[in-house]
Amino acid sequence: MTKKTIIEKIWEKHTVVSEPGKPSLLYIDLHMVHEVTSPQAFEGLRLKGRKVRRPDLTFATMDHNVPTLDRYVIKDEIAKKQMDTLSDNCQQFGVRVADLNSPDSGIVHVIGPELGLTQPGKTIVCGDSHTSTHGAFGALAFGIGTSEVEHVLSTQTLWQSKPKTLQVHVKGDLPLGVTAKDIILAIIAKFGVNFGTGSIIEFTGEAIRNMTMEERMTVCNMSIEAGAKAGLISPDETTFEYLKGRQYVPQGEEFEKAVEQWRELATDEGAEYDRTVEIEASEIEPQVTWGTNPSQGIGVNGVVPNPADYNNAADKIAIEQALNYMGLTPSTPITNVEVQHVFIGSCTNSRMSDLRAAAQVAKGRKVAPGVRAMVVPGSQKIKLQAEAEGLDQVFLDAGFEWRESGCSMCLSMNPDFVPEGERCASTSNRNFEGRQGKGARTHLVSPAMAAAAAVAGKFVDVRTFTEATVK
Amino acid sequence: MAGIVVHKGNVAAMNRVNVDTDQIIPKQFLKRIERTGFGQFLFFDWRFHSDGSDNEKFELNQPHNQNASILVANQNFGCGSSREHAPWALQDYGFQVIIAPNFADIFYNNCVKNGILAIQLPEEKVNELLVKADEAVYELTVDLSQQILFDDNGFKAEFTIDPYWKEMLLNGWDEVSLTLNYEEDISNYEKQRAL
């Protein structure tokens, strides 16, 4: 029997039509929808008199525009209209929606797994590039544009050319105080922002196997920042344990049957990938990005690069431009860089373990003067759970703001933003120019590193900052 | 959607790597519920100063790039967010062809679905074009049916494109209508998996 990767297994199982010289027609098992990239798709259906083929495989929520201070006070008329439009569209087309009133609401890539909608072996799409998050469960999950959203709504399928398979093997185990976020940032720093273009990544290795589901989600979430179509991890006992008992997962005997099938999905021993890269986990330090794309990052004990050290003209210019935007002097130790804002949240790092890691650092300490720090849970369920554990009080006592769930300052489509020229330690996924506000300077870090930066007022190595380990 | 067979137009050069869709269309303009009217916001933070005046240093504001309909850019164009507002903005501004050494996957798909021809060329050919279009008006002809592009002074390059996407672009087909022809296959698939 041919040995196959999980990618090939899922691909083959979902191929509806395969004709020579054409992409494959893939069936989509789950379509997540949000307010920003769907209105034009629903409008397309209306104009052509079409319906949603499988409302039962479609699930909508609101996250990008939602205010996190008081979600019912939406001052931005256009944002409000976009959310109202989603409600109207879902009602008209019979799609389930976790709206602002729903206890299930939250960031789309947080609630999919939380509700158990995300399951191994599924094909999952959403009009959002961070759909790769769901790959943590051994699903083939990728972001699509609005035309494709319309296509999936109408047909429950997509034409897709088969991407190449790319194994990213994380050898060894993580040192104490180094997190999943640091691994994925280090991978992107090492291999670049487009090493995954045209490929689906499977993350393998001991460090990945030892991760919790929440950690795996952080890793897969940023696959798109490596340019990959998707990133996934073969499911195992950790996956099944996480899913057991969740709302949309089969229950009882049916669950055991599902697990048997899910077990078959894992990449066969000896299966070949088109390409493999490796990274040594034990060599990874807590990461901080210094530039304007996620590959421009260094270990916390490193220095900001100096363009003079680079021979290639293109590299020199890219570094100069990034340092200029970021307002950084070449060769500055990153631990000398002060921050004015700290954001803990986003589909990358807003789950319980992220909040616990940040709270562990914040506990009994105070946010430095002049720093505004906020914690934004990924879903309303996480918010309630964190409050039940008293984490909100830990944060509030330390001087952090405690908010309601939403995308918040990850992309600042809502009232949360960083003012021009100011600097933010952020647990989100993109440090692009203007991402957190026009002229805002974003440094990507893990939740523990962000909390430590809030207390110190600058970047510090969380491992020496606190004796408490992050794991 | 109208098809593209041959397109002749002026070229604007943007010699930048990793241009992300947050730059192409910043997030504050994603709240509209229409597909139209995004061109005015294209490259907003690069194109305009904070006071709203034109940033004259920005490529698209330079006199020789006015009326350009072909954009030549560098590595990994369109990376980041999946927002289709990016190709909508480029198209609404007037671009029908985009040339780069490579594109981010989602952006590339989004272009095709909107009838924008995204052409991947070898880096040395892109560099040639970036130089030619750098300071003066430069005109290029793109022939999709022949898969070539050329100017009047001897520059010529061939490009490859997936035959399926080529057919879609040439004819300006609505992909959903095409897929609905496979309704029976989709229904059978659903039955077979008991979905």
Q: How far is B1 from chain A (nearest CA, A)?
A: 13
Kindly list the residues from chain A whose CB atom is less than 8 angstroms away from the CB atom of residue B118.
none
Scored b (16 or more CB within 10 A) or e, A242-278 reads bbeebeebbeeeebeebbeebeebbbbeebebeeebe
Closest CA to A3 of A216, A197, A165: A165
A29 contacts: CB under 8 Å, gap ≥ 6: A14, A57, A122, A123, A124, B195
Inter-helix orientation angle B105-113/B163-171, to 10°: 30
Inter-helix orientation angle A39-48/A146-155, to 10°: 50
DSSP string, B149-166: EE-TTS-EEE----HHHH
CB contact under 8 A, B22 and A50: no
Q: B50, exposed or middle or buried, with CB in 10 Å at 0-12, 13-18, 19+?
A: exposed
Kindly list the residues from chain B whose CB atom is less than 8 angstroms away from the CB atom of residue A25.
179, 182, 185-186
Is A127 an 8 Å CB contact of chain B?
yes
Q: How far is B142 from chain A (nearest CA, A)?
A: 23
Inter-residue contact A106 to A382 (CB < 8 Å): yes
Give the separation between CA A248 and CA A258, rounded to whole angstroms.
13
CB contact under 8 A, A430 and B20: yes
Map tokens 């600042």 to a residue. Answer: A412
pLDDT tens for chain A, 471 residues long, are 799 999 999 999 999 999 988 899 999 999 999 999 999 999 999 999 999 999 999 999 999 999 999 999 999 999 999 999 999 999 999 999 999 999 999 999 999 999 999 999 999 999 999 999 999 999 999 999 999 999 999 999 999 999 999 999 999 999 999 999 999 999 999 999 999 999 999 999 999 999 999 999 999 999 999 999 999 999 999 999 999 999 999 999 999 999 999 999 999 999 999 999 999 999 999 999 999 999 999 999 999 999 999 998 888 989 999 999 999 999 999 999 999 999 999 999 999 999 999 999 999 999 999 999 999 999 999 999 999 999 999 999 999 999 999 999 999 999 999 999 999 999 999 999 999 999 999 999 999 999 999 999 999 999 998 654 443
Scored b (16 or more CB within 10 A) or e, B8-26 reads ebbbbbbbbbbbbbbbbbb
3 state SS for B15-58: CCCCCEHHHHCCHHHCCCCCCCCCHHHCCHHHHECCCCCECCCC
* Residue of chain A minimizing CA distance to B167: A22
Q: Phi then psi for A30, rounded to 5 degrees?
A: -145, 125
Give the separation between CA A431 and CA A292, rounded to whole angstroms.
5
Helices (H), A104-163: 108-115, 146-155
Scored b (16 or more CB within 10 A) or e, A152-189 reads bbbbbbbbbeebebbbbbbeeebbebbbbbbbbbbbbb
CB contact under 8 A, B164 and A159: yes
Enumerate residues 78 to 107 of chain B having a beta carbon within 8 A of any beta carbon in chain A: 79-84, 87, 102, 104-106
Map tokens 């720090």 to a residue. Answer: A373
Q: Return the C-alpha torsion angle B55, B59, B61, B63, nearest 10.
A: 130
Q: How far is A196 from chain B (nearest CA, A)?
A: 10
